[in-house]
Amino acid sequence: MHDDRLITEKRLERFVRERIAPAIYGRALPLTLSSWDVPGEPVPVAEALHQVFEPQEHGAAWGKAWSTKWLRLRGEVPEGWGAAEGTAVEIVVDLGFSNDAPGFQCEGIAWRADGTIIKAISPRNQHVPLKLLGGGLSVDFYVEAAANPDLSQGWSFAATPLGDKATSGDEPRYRLGRIAIAELNEVVWELHQDIWTLSGLMHELPFELPRRHEILRAFERMLDVMDPDDVAGTAAAGREALAEVLSRPAYASAHELLATGHAHIDSAWLWPVRETIRKCARTFSNVVALMDENPEFVFSCSSAQQLAWIKEFYPELFIRIREKVKAGQFVPVGGMWVESDTNMPGGEAMARQFVEGKSFFLEEFGVDCQEAWLPDSFGYSGALPQIVKSAGCRWFLTQKISWNQVNKMPHHTFNWEGIDGTRLFTHFPPVDTYNSELHGRELAHAQRNYREHGRGTISLVPFGYGDGGGGPTREMIAAARRTADLEGSPKVRVGTAKEFFTQAEAEYRNLPVWVGEMYLELHRGTYTSQANTKKGNRRSEHLLREAELWCSTAAIRTAGSFTYPAADLKRLWRLVLLQQFHDILPGSAIAWVHQDAERNYAAIARELEAIISNAAIALLGEGDTVFLLNAAPHERNGVPALAAAEAVHADTTVSVTPRAGGYVLDNGIIRAVLDANGLLTSLSDHATGREAMAPGQFGNHLELHRDTPNEWDAWDIDEFYRRNVVSVVEARSVTLESAGWDAVVVVERTVGSSTITQRISLEAGAASLGISTTVDWQEREKLLKIGFPLDVRADRSASETQFGHVFRPTHTNTSWEAAKFEFCAHRWIHVAEPGYGVAISNASSYGHDVTRAIRDDGGTTTNVRVSLLRAPKFPDPRADLGMHVLELSIRPGASIGDAVEEGYRTNLKPRLLTGAKPVEPLFTVFNQALVIEAVKLAEDGSGDVIVRLYESLGERSTGIITANFDSRKVQSVDLLERPVEASGVVPGAVAAELTLRPFQLVTLRFSR
């Protein structure tokens, strides 16, 4: 037989494009348009509907970047339209869409004249059914059109001014397309879906499989029986020609795909938060409209914050969503406030993501989410399994690991073991997308790619256009119906994530195990980009710790005269949690987003400082005695942890000795030598007498690298950055600023076009050397690091993560290790050999790297570097330009416990206030390995006290936590403060005995 396959495929493609697609809508009639251009930021619908609408020309250019145009659409449906069987009347609205990149261009939402939402208008969802307008043959409704610019630019990663409203320009970015009443031919539409499904399947089948050719010949018969001049009249015959190949059942062994509707909406990214709120309204209105027509359709919604916005700004839509939740169609998943980054949020913040998210879903919908849902976060902390389980969740879903540059994840369904030993049932959908269209290509890829064949039979597929693209469509639902039982295709079933996890967990018992973090081999630059956002996050986390601690203490110690500001603290927590979203905190959003974040952080700091001040005044009373408020979990300057008392200062001063243009600083605990360029040539502790710096090398070494990643500028650091480096050695000046109780040496440098001032300080009684680096950063596409080459043979480094730390090899034996050339650490990093270690802590940095080299003398140099600043051009072309203050400390002769203490010391600065009386701590812990992370009053308003603590050293630790107030009962609770059984906890009335496994997290409730 002659091979005419390509000829027939081209014939089909053209017939669909030129005959079938245009015939979906037969008759059409333009509508009468009028419009009102919003002069500034978007306005509520009630305000817009009272404006004066001027006549609007069809096909006109409109919409400068980020502007909003309101359109009024009016007309009459001609008599007889939609009366014939298999036809319906719809309004088609094209705002000037491109068919590419839904969610990255203009968008709209249709409103009735009474101010209620109809549905969204999206690039691939442009129709408004007449029946949704309230009945009758008159058309009169409004469209709120948003001129969001396309910052994706075809993912060229070119610098663009469009991400800042101040620089985005005034030129119109869109031109109105067809806006008309149209008659939908449902038979032609169904035929189009038949072809789309079968064609997608056919192109994925092997050439040697008969099924592929049977589908092709069915297409050939369809093309022959249909009249190109009368598509509507012959569409039924065309469907009949395809009916037999569509009716063939799937193989008995076909993979099963549970498809759940989804719309991954980034809470800010290439648009500001204000636009995300409207994107959510558009998408969710589409979803509930689709549910009305398709009772089997299920949609998974993952972010409590987004639904909280709908409740606040779109209450009528929220009521409809609540009804669909009750019906089991609109399903809250994930249990987090936002789909946050998981590398950089601190332990308590990561816990609060679940506390606030799950609490919202429980209060508003009565839903207790069982799955953590994080398809798009940039790697997953090894602390997550314990946090997820502690929040009462059972399962975890992710997708982003499919983006790894080098190594392929070996599992799709597995147990993920966290740093404390907690195991979490985890799924990594083999479809490799969280925005599926249920196309044959995607379904076939999921079946081929699935790594658990022979042990498991099912995987999950989230389908729907994300980021404002409108979510699932009727076309996707049609595809799911056609592939439910179709030969050559996996079996597709629409359902909930819970249904998937329950079935997968039941059928696949002997799961493989992945231990520790799931490191994403991509987007490593997100640990450093937008330094001010990261600084604001770190500062906010610690201010919230202080505020909750002192407010709890004041509420108890003042016998009820101080009112715990629960509502204010919850509101501020939620704002901080929002900004931990996985494109805000990582620094991968447009300028507008980070400008908002910095304003928010400044407001958060002002409000929390006022809250802390009020609590401190209530606690200390009026007086002239200076007290140190120690919010750290360790004693400081003689003040117990979590207490306020007069500080006990060291009775010695720091000696400063000039040497060859530099200085020797010595406080009797450590000794540091700075040369004439302010470089750290020697650092030792008197307890061991050991030199920390590698021979002939120096610390406080600034290095400027070329930083031009292949793509994803703000996201990525590529390994080849190391090959181009400028060593910053020379100083303009090195001067002694002060000596006595502390010593400060000031070093001034120039790096490229930037100026750097460093304040290197040693305090009396301190075990660490402080380095504060102020940079007027004016570089573009550069990376600034600060390094410390240590005389330590460390085969691994320890980096703080949530409620513990994670070890990473310093060698590159395997591709997995080589890929971790830049990694995340929280407040400290520690490297050691048996008997000796060095800790480096920071106040706002997250990116680190550790390398090793063997010297000529046979010794090993372990070089620890902290990434200080980047300067990517996309998506914010002015990212990080300006002033920055970055603080570090280095502590020689340090244990892991010392590193933990140093991390708190660097991030919780001394708070000195005057008053009349000291403050006893609410809690005492009789083992420094057991670290109190949070003290707060209970969420239920009972006045009970919640304390969260963890084992910090990575070893089995025992101790007692005692309440220093009247307590009648101690109880173990989960993160949501519900009673649970906790291993290693023996509660009493005022104390609990603890025997905790390494990194175990415990939450206790002390009833008053």
Q: What is the DSSP letter of 855?
A: -
| Contact criterion met (CB below 8 Å) for 372 and 396 | yes
Q: Which residues contact 405 (CB under 8 A, 6 or more apart)?
A: 521, 522, 819
757, with CB counted inside 10 A (0-12, 13-18, 19+), is middle
Report the alpha-carbon angle 417-422-425, nearest 5: 60
| Contact criterion met (CB below 8 Å) for 787 and 694 | no
CA gap 244, 215 in Å, rounded: 9
Residue with tokens 């998974």: 300
Q: Which residues contact 953 (CB under 8 A, 6 or more apart)?
A: 896, 897, 900, 929, 998
CA gap 934, 188 in Å, rounded: 62
Q: Which of 368, 376, 485, 795 is catalytic?
A: 376
Q: Give the Å distances, CA to CA, from 100 to 21, 25, 120.
A: 17, 21, 17
Two tokens at 499? Answer: 């249904």
Edge-first strand listing for the sheet containing 985-987 = 923-925, 957-963, 991-996, 985-987
For 633-738, list the strands marked E by DSSP: 643-645, 655-659, 662-666, 670-674, 680-685, 701-706, 725-728, 733-738
CA gap 825, 517 in Å, rounded: 12
Nearest to 953 by CA among 975, 927, 978, 972: 927
Number of H helices, E strands in the chain: 19, 52
Does residue 877 have a cis bond before it (omega within 30 degrees)?
A: no
Backbone φ/ψ region at 559: left (φ over 0), alpha (ψ -120 to 50), beta: left
Overall residue count recorded for the chain in this entry: 1008
Nearest to 933 by CA among 479, 347, 241, 385: 347
* Active site annotation includes 974: no
Task: Using CA atoms of 666, 670, 676, 681 in order, give the dihedral in degrees to the nearest 10.
Answer: 150
CA gap 925, 964 in Å, rounded: 11
Q: Which residues contact 699 (CB under 8 A, 6 or more apart)?
A: 679, 680, 683, 693, 787, 788, 789, 790, 890
Two tokens at 518? Answer: 């799931």
302-311 b/e (C-beta count within 10 Å ≥ 16 → b): bbbbbbbbbb
Nearest to 786 by CA among 814, 751, 815: 751
Q: What's phi and psi for 5, nearest 5 deg?
A: -60, -50
Nearest to 380 by CA among 395, 399, 393: 399
Give Cα 344 to chain centroid, integer Å: 10
Q: Give the Å distances, CA to CA, from 739 to 392, 657, 666, 747.
A: 54, 10, 11, 15
Nearest to 140 by CA among 149, 148, 150, 130: 130
Q: What is the DSSP letter of 220?
A: H
Residues paired with residue 91 on neighbouring β-strands, in sequence order: 128, 181
Q: Give the Å distances, CA to CA, from 230 to 18, 22, 555, 721.
A: 13, 12, 80, 62
Q: Name the residues annotated as catalytic.
A: 376
